[in-house]
Structure 1
Amino acid sequence: MLPDDRQTTSNTQNTQRNFNQPDNRNTTLTSTAGVSPRAETDANALISYNHLTYFLYVVSYFTAGLLWIVPIVMNYLKRGEAQGTWLATHFDWQIKTFWYSIVFFLIGSAIVIFSLGGLGVSIFTESGHVAAGSFGLLALGFGILGITVLWHLYRIVRGWIALVDKRPVP
């Protein structure tokens, strides 16, 4: 092999690696010239897959959260295929968003349930102080739930915009 041939092979490999990783200067994809059709097809399939999972997260709000489990399972199934690419950040982003949302949803729900119990006790004991504290906890619980929903939507929208722009999420 001639020195020029090695350089050409090296440039082709670098181009493939750059396709799979974001350009650090402006976080956009580099040219796909010299990228194997298989690598390009795989990347496009993973991009489409991520669009579907972001869509399912949004649709889950209209199904009372029943579809919430579907995109997380999908993300865990395909996460390994995106390893080492800029798309891996999207899989991780969605997975972290799911788990943090679950944790804060459970915390908010527990506070709401606890405060409703306090309201029930205050009705039977005719205690205004317990009722006042329970209303405060109820407001706190619903506040946590509301912030969790807004934070979840923000993360889904931010991630989806980054995917459309073909750049990683932080």
Structure 2
Amino acid sequence: MSQQLVLDRGTQDAKQLARVLYLVHACTFFFSLGMLSFLPLIVNYVKRPDTSGTLVYSHHTWMIRSFWYYMVWMVVGGIIFATIIGFPLAVAIWGLAWLWKAYRLIRGFLDLDSNKPMPV
């Protein structure tokens, strides 16, 4: 029985770290437009193998994918911004990417609190 308590404690600690990472991703996202999100991203990559076989693993994967897709769209917007005609389109792409990333952070945080794994 004590072994079960240790496993539950480990899962709770992993969930708490995932919560903190969602919040750090959100803070860096809102205050630096995601440019500092590489810091919690590193922790996601380091801690993800430790959570293999748990729902927290899917949350680490969710945060990692959110970061990289967001970066791709920000770069695409930057390339389009470099053209004279592309300014309004670039702003639209950046705005949609920002809304999409905000949705993914909020949904992930809420699903983690509800003990739901993220779709992969």
Is TM-score (shorter-chain normalized) higher than 0.5?
yes
Matched, 1:159 2:108: yes
Structure 2 gap segments, 5+ residues each? none
Q: Which residue of 2 aligns with 1:39?
A: 7
Percent identity between matched residues is 27
| CA RMSD, Structure 1 to Structure 2 (Å) | 1.6
**Higher relative contact order, structure no. (Cα contacts within 8 Å, ≥ 6 residues apart):** 2
Q: Counterpart of 1:36 in 2: which secondary structure? A: helix
Alpha-carbon distance between aligned partners in 1 of 2:103 and 2:8, rounded to the nearest angstrom: 29
Distance 1:168 1:76 in 2: 17
Alignment-derived partner of residue 19 in structure 2: 51
- What is the TM-score normalised by the length of structure 1? 0.65
Structure of greater Rg: 1
**Secondary structure at the counterpart of residue 169 of structure 1:** coil
For residues 51 and 3 of structure 2, the distance between their equivalents in structure 1, rounded to whole angstroms, comes to 16
Shift >2 Å, 4+ stretches:
none
Structure 1 residue aligned with 2:76, among 107, 119, 123?
107
Q: 1:82 aligns with which of 25, 32, 51?
A: 51
User: How many residues were matched structurally?
Assistant: 118
* Cα distance per residue 1:103-139 (max 9 Å; x no partner): 0000001111222xxxxxxxxxxxxxxxxxx2xx211
C-alpha displacement at 1:67, in angstroms?
3.0
